[in-house]
Structure 1
Amino acid sequence: MAQTVFHPANERGHADHGWLNAYHSFSFAGWYDPSKIHFGALRVLNDDTVAGGKGFGMHPHDNMEIITIILDGALEHKDNMGHAEQIAAGEVQVMSAGTGVYHSEYNPDKNKPVSLFQTWIFPSKRSVQPRYDQRAFDPADRQNKLQLLVSPIDNEDEGLKMHQQAWIYRTSLQAGNSLSHTLHTSGHGAYVFVVSGNATVEGQRLGRRDALGITDAGSFDIEATTDADILVFEVPMHM
């Protein structure tokens, strides 16, 4: 029988730094909850709003798969390998930090905040050559179905690639519609995060920014009770 854990939006960590307003689904920086360290390989899910003209200065990462999903606005990325590009609304970027990278993230629009999710996933392989990839995803391709954003680097599934047997999906479900997702293996779980709207998953009602972790399930259903924008993270539960 499926096991679930409900993470309501109002129980996330919160840090308002003025230039950065951040909500943390899992323990991060100055916020620590021993019951919310990670969900399987999913280590970080930060819901960030960066003020106009502000950003994260140059800082290091290593041995982590970092996925950035832009909801509104744009984020300018620079790194010590010479990359400099903007990630715009509707785009997703994957960074395999591997042996180590330094990068900065900056909101180039001084008049408009940028809203984004940044997720960290533990890699299945350490000390890989650092790499980046990004892509724009057509919203029409997720209407009432799962759109694959990121998948494992060693298979032929669509989407951007990461060094982990994990899949990230997004769906825009219209009210009254439902879909089913079958997990790839019995050792995987799913973390369903509602970006906006309302949905029911495994009998649990979810609202804006609520999440449900699902384990020991071959498959599960998502039903939209209003129009809903939803992210689904399928990850190994044991590493």
Structure 2
Amino acid sequence: MKTILHKANTRGHASFGWLNSYHTFSFGHYYNPERIHFGALRVLNDDTVKGGMGFSKHPHDNMEIVSIPLSGDLHHKDTTGRDEIIRQHDVQIMSAGSGIAHSETNANHDKEVKFLQIWVFPKEKNIEPRYQQKSFKPEDRLNQVLTVVAPDDEHAVWINQDAWFSLANLEAGVEKIYQIKRKENGVYAFIIGGQVTINGEQLDARDGLGIWETETINITANSNTEILLIDVPMKLEEA
């Protein structure tokens, strides 16, 4: 088993007034050659956007982009004609594929929106751009590990990669064993809130732990904890 620990206070940081963003991996002006990606996981940004502000229209291609609002509402528009509001408990995915432009703005003027922006390298390049979002009941992940992104689960949003995202809200003292989906995959655990021990490593809010070359991970909630598990291939396919 191999692991890599990223404490919350070691992340990159960018503040532009309207945006406060923490970067687990190199992004924008933050560059760390030891933190480029974790397998197919390329970006994990922890963003807070002020009321009425946001990311104006900009292009992407050949990237799977997942947004998970933690509080507040996001307004999404893109060049396929999509015009959607993404709320807490929703999960959005955009397969940029052969090329798409989009904007993501705070749908409200009187409160912040907090969300995780996550990029995953795709399995197949230049597919037709694709968008999907779904709402997930918080009670369905109470003391359970709920799959919200998957290539093979009709109840989750679909991703163009052998990758699975799962969310769990665990009460203090609850223990879970997570089975990694493929032997070629590893798991990046991101602690949204609370305190948890994973494979003997104590983690606090916004810490991240990558684990690979193992079949399972052991999770024990030391307090009421919210956790995101990102199960991704560890080797990138050559173009």
TM tier, shorter chain? over 0.9
Structure 1: which amino acid aligns with 2:222?
Answer: T
Aligned ranges for residues 1-239 of structure 1 at < 5 Å?
A: 2-152=1-151, 155-156=152-153, 158-239=155-236
SS in 1 for 2:229: strand
TM-score calculated relative to the size of structure 1: 0.97
Distance apart, 1:156 and its partner CA: 4.0
- Unpaired runs of 5+ in structure 1? none
Distance 1:62 1:182 in 2: 31
Distance 2:123 2:172 in 1: 37
Distance apart, 1:185 and its partner CA: 1.9
Structure 2: which amino acid aligns with 1:207?
Answer: D
Distance 2:122 2:12 in 1: 24
Distance apart, 1:145 and its partner CA: 1.1
SS in 1 for 2:22: strand
Structure 2: which amino acid aligns with 1:59?
Answer: H
Distance 1:44 1:121 in 2: 7
Q: Deviations over 1:185-235 (max 9, x none)?
A: 221100001000000001100000001100111111110000000000000
Structure 2: which amino acid aligns with 1:4?
Answer: T
Distance apart, 1:157 and its partner CA: 5.5
Structure 2: which amino acid aligns with 1:106?
Answer: T
Structure 2: which amino acid aligns with 1:203?
Answer: G
Q: Deviations over 1:66-123 (max 9, x none)?
A: 0000010001001112111110111110100000001111112111000000100000
Distance 2:7 2:80 in 1: 39
Distance apart, 1:158 and its partner CA: 3.2
Distance 1:126 1:104 in 2: 22
Distance 2:157 2:203 in 1: 28
SS in 2 for 1:124: coil
% same residue:
46
Distance 2:74 2:121 in 1: 23
Distance apart, 1:164 and its partner CA: 0.1
Distance 2:148 2:178 in 1: 15
Distance 1:88 1:139 in 2: 13
SS in 1 for 2:131: strand
Distance apart, 1:182 and its partner CA: 1.0
**Alignment: residue pair count:** 236
TM-score calculated relative to the size of structure 2: 0.97
CA RMSD between the two structures: 0.8
Distance 1:202 1:111 in 2: 41
Distance 2:153 2:32 in 1: 37
